[in-house]
Structure 1
Amino acid sequence: METALTKLVGVEHPLVQTGMGWVAGPRLVSATANAGALGILASATMTTEQLTRAVREVKSRTDAPFGVNLRADAGDARERVRIIIAEGVRVASFALAPSRELIAELKDAGVVVIPSIGARRHAEKVAAWGADAVIVQGGEGGGHTGDVATTVLLPQVVDAVDIPVVAAGGFHDGRGLVAALAYGAAGVAMGTRFLLTSDSTVPDAVKARYLAASVKDVTVTTAVDGLPHRMLRTELVDALERSGRIRALLHAVRGAAGFKKISGLSWAAMVRDGLAMKHGKELTWSQVLLAANTPMLLKASMVEGRTDLGIMASGQIAGLIEDLPSCAELVTRVMSEAEHALRTLPTPG
């Protein structure tokens, strides 16, 4: 199925596996790429040295195009951009709008720039700055999210920009792909669906928690870092929502100290990164530290399997997912479902 996305990045199918921290590592990204979709490596939870090694590992596993996701507001964003360019990565994906200068630097090197956005005005801004495409995430999506549904946000953005638009938030099968194409999208991006594959390195106990979840078990909370964050409702989420400011601050400091140790960041750098996530919102100091500490809360679940101590970012679609196919099986299934949906659409008259 050829679309503006497949032509832009050189993949076979208009499907994107999103850059989920601690989840989208070399194994998942290369399996996605080998299946003919666009895999995106998550770099925000990696040091620059780890990023270089991860990119080279993906390249050793596949010859297909793939991308790297990074935070535009990170203090070392420019260094990460240079790694992407030096290693010949096809796509740079951004969790926040990159600057005009970063976009220009990447495009001059032949890298395709695809920021993720959650509002029409953000899409218009990055398109004007030269972004090649955008991933539009509606409120159904996991992690930090907005409150506008994909079915409302997607057509807004499609009508506002003249670059390919990839739909995210609430997609897991071929019917969703066809619906997104009907809205004018060039493909769909999926996070939770790719997390729940046999190629994902997420521990089995965590996958089981996702598979057992109903749609109502996926909630949006601001208790983790002061920003709307969609995740599975767990005992930790309940505790954070009940805890007072002092208890939340102590929890944040302990976790942030752990992230400081493994990341090599200074306290000043961690607070700066936490402040960068405020997006103009009034956050307490515990929330600022929790924002910087969020990677550790994700790591506890996604790497260590501690569903009691970590958070599990999740799209609402988790309530509909019931199995763990390989990436190859998933991509084949989605495309087969899409072709069937297209064939069986009612015709006028």
Structure 2
Amino acid sequence: MKTRITELLGIKYPVIQGGMAWVAEANLAAAVSEAGALGLIGGANAPAEVVRNEIRRAKLRTDKPVGVNVMLLSPHADEVSDVIVEEGVKIVTTGAGNPEKYMNKWKRAGVKVIPVVASVALAKRMERYGADAVVAEGMESGGHIGEQTTMTLVPQIVDAVEIPVIAAGGIGDGRGFAAAFMLGAEAVQMGTRFVVAKESICHENYKQRILNAKDIDSAVTGRSHGHPIRSLRNQMTKEYRKKEEAGASFEELELLTLGSLRNAVVDGDVKNGTVMAGQIAGLIKKEQTCNEIIEEIMSEANRLLKTDYWKGSSYE
């Protein structure tokens, strides 16, 4: 399936793996790219040299395109933005902020810049500043979220900008893929489905928590201080929400979650750690290789969309 996104990024399938902190490292990103989609290395709060090392590790595993997700709130964002140019990375997605200060530098280096946005206003602003595409991410996603759902956000952004739109949030199979395309998206970004990939370094406890999740198992914390985060319910979310409702300060709540994502991903503490996952977790019931995940999604999506549907359209 060809879209403006597959042409822009040089990939076979219009599928992008989310740049998840502690999860999206070189091995997973390379496996996704080898399977014909776009793998991303998650910069998160990592120092620039750590990101550089992951980029080089990925290059040893695949010659297919691999991108980097830059978390703009990171104290190392300036240095990471330089590493991207120095290491010849050609695709960048950004989150948790506005990438305008890096845009000229990246564009001069031939980098395709794709910001993650949660509103029409930000999507239009990113287009004005030269973004090549945007990821319209609904609140169904795991991790940091906005307030709009994928179903409502994607078509409004599609109508508001000329650049391609990638849908994210609540997409985990071919049905979600097809629905996103009906809304006008030209690719999808998925995180939670790839967390449980066989190539994912996530602790087995983390994977099993997702695989055993029910539809009502996600919780949002942090709304009181303007930084809502979606994760799966556990002792930590219970305590956090109790303190939040009691009016705890931002600093007190931050102490509760300090290092908690690493504790869950690396050490497998799914009771007191932060198990970031989207609402789609309840749909995910098996661990597969990245290739199996992508092939299954594309096969189902093609059956639903009917290949003939795209004949003569811009997606052909």
Question: Common fold, TM-score beyond 0.5?
Answer: yes
1:102 equivalent to 2:107? Answer: no
Residues in 2 aligned to 1:224 and 1:84: alpha-carbon distance in whole angstroms = 35
SS at match of 1:158: helix
Which residue does 1:213 correspond to in 2? Answer: 213
Number of the residue aligned with 1:146: 146
Which ranges of structure 1 fall in alignment gaps of 5 or more residues? 249-282
The SS at the match of 2:202 is coil
Structure 2 regions of 5+ residues with no counterpart? 310-316
Q: Is the 8 A contact 1:123 1:134 kept in 2?
A: yes
Q: 1:166 to 1:302 in 2, by over 3 A?
A: same
CA contact (8 A) 2:15 2:37 kept: yes
Change (3 A) 1:344 1:125: closer
Q: Say yes or no: does 1:92 pair with 2:87.
A: no
Determine which of 280, 302, 312 is the counterpart of 1:339: 302
Mapped partners of 2:105, 2:98: distance in 1: 11
Residue 312 of structure 2 corresponds to none
Q: TM-score, normalised by structure 1?
A: 0.83
Equivalent residue number for residue 172 of structure 1: 172
Give the distance between the partners of 1:206 and 1:284, measured in 2 at CA. 26
User: Within 5 Å, which residues of 2 pair with 1:259-338?
Assistant: 284-287=250-253, 289-290=254-255, 294=257, 296-338=259-301
2:239 paired residue number: 239
Q: Partners in 2 of 1:307 and 1:221 — Cα distance?
A: 16
Q: Is the 1:150–1:167 contact (alpha carbons within 8 Å) kept by the matching residues of 2?
A: yes
User: RMSD in angstroms over aligned alpha carbons?
Assistant: 2.2
State the 1:89 CA deviation: 1.0
CA contact (8 A) 1:97 1:126 kept: no
Matching residue of 1:36: 36
Q: Which residues in structure 2 correspond to 1:5-154 (within 5 Å)?
A: 5-154=5-154
Distance 1:235 1:75, change over 3 A: closer
Percentage of identical aligned residues: 39
Q: TM-score, normalised by structure 2?
A: 0.92
CA apart distance, 1:148: 1.4
Which residue identity lines up with residue 186 of structure 1 in the other structure? E
Q: How much has 1:149 moved relative to structure 2? A: 1.1
Find the aligned partners of 2:73 and 2:122 in 1 and give their Cα distance. 15
Aligned to 1:231, the other structure's residue is in SS state strand
User: What is the Cα deviation at residue 343 of structure 1?
Assistant: 2.6
